[in-house]
Amino acid sequence: MTATTTTTTSRILSPRQRGLRRFLHNRLAVFGIVTIALFLVFCFLGPLMYPTDQIHTDLKNTMLPPGTAGHLLGTDDVGYDVLGRLMTGGQISILIGLAAGVLATVIGTLWGAIAGYVGGAVDAVMMRVVDAGIAIPATFLLLILSAIMRPSVPLMIVVIGLVSWLVPARLVRAESISLKSREYVLALRAMGGTHSRAVLRHIVPNTVGTIVVNATFQVADAILLVAYISFLGMGLQKPATDWGAMLTSGITYTYAGAWWLIFPAGFCIVLTVCAFNSIGDGLRDFFDVKGRNA
């Protein structure tokens, strides 16, 4: 009786409703959504409720421990309030991660869709470019570019986006090869539709599941790349900062017992990356078209 009722209810629900149901049943995905929402509030609205000076140094109040009056998480080696620094660094880390992830997804989607749709020699050449790019470590390229040019937020967004589009390109290309032989694409071509219309109106929209899921992983990877570069001392220069730069500044004082300069930033990086990855897993369930009834 119960099984019959469940099956009947599942048939009544639309595909989108079933997808949302699967997403909400994924506790890690829901946890990821809540975590990212809290981080956005903390980083972008927190400074309004807890204003601090993150531009001018205060050498009279350096290395204060957490709990000091007026400094909930203490201060760093030049007197910056660590909690305020965590908010400011989070703004930059999340902004670069989101923007670079979107840029990489857009470039990779268009590249992969065109390569898969056109096929032949064009596909071979375009995918060899992708293979060559994947063979070169992204961190290595970022370090070289950071040494040549002065790092800034727009530059890091563009650079990280330009080294991160390779994986989505391969994923979308595989989807495009399958989709280009579908009836609606063949009908469009028979009616005189252009190749660009076929790619933009049929190929790309029908790979949206793959695109959205991969985009969350791209954001997580971009946040990690920012942390890598900043940790190696090639990131944004003070007074600007991000979570990776906070780790770099604090690691000098590890053996002095100044844990508050390292653990908060490291915790934020790990939790944010895990949250985006959990959201990606949940979105994979949401776009699953194999008819799971969970």
Of 110-114, 126-130, 141-145, 181-185, the range with the lowest mean pLDDT is 181-185
Tokens representing 82 are: 């660590």
Q: Residue 275 — very low, low, confident or very high, per pLDDT cuts 50/70/90?
A: very high
* Preceding peptide of 239 cis, ω within 30°: yes
Encoded amino acid at 185, one letter: V
DSSP output for 75-86: B-TTS-BHHHHH
Q: Residue 160 — very low, low, confident or very high, per pLDDT cuts 50/70/90?
A: confident
pLDDT digits (tens, 9 = 90+) for 39-65: 999 999 999 999 988 888 888 888 888
Measure the CA–CA gap between 193 and 121, rounded to whole angstroms. 22
Instruction: Say if CB 110 and CB 200 are below 8 A apart.
Output: no
Measure the CA–CA gap between 70 and 73, rounded to whole angstroms. 9
Instruction: Say if CB 251 and CB 14 are below 8 A apart.
Output: no
pLDDT of residue 58: 84
Largest CA distance in the chain: 76
Cα separations in angstroms, 11 against 2, 6, 96: 14, 9, 42
Measure the CA–CA gap between 119 and 110, rounded to whole angstroms. 14
Closest-CA residue to 283 (of 30, 13, 6, 15): 30
Reported pTM: 0.82
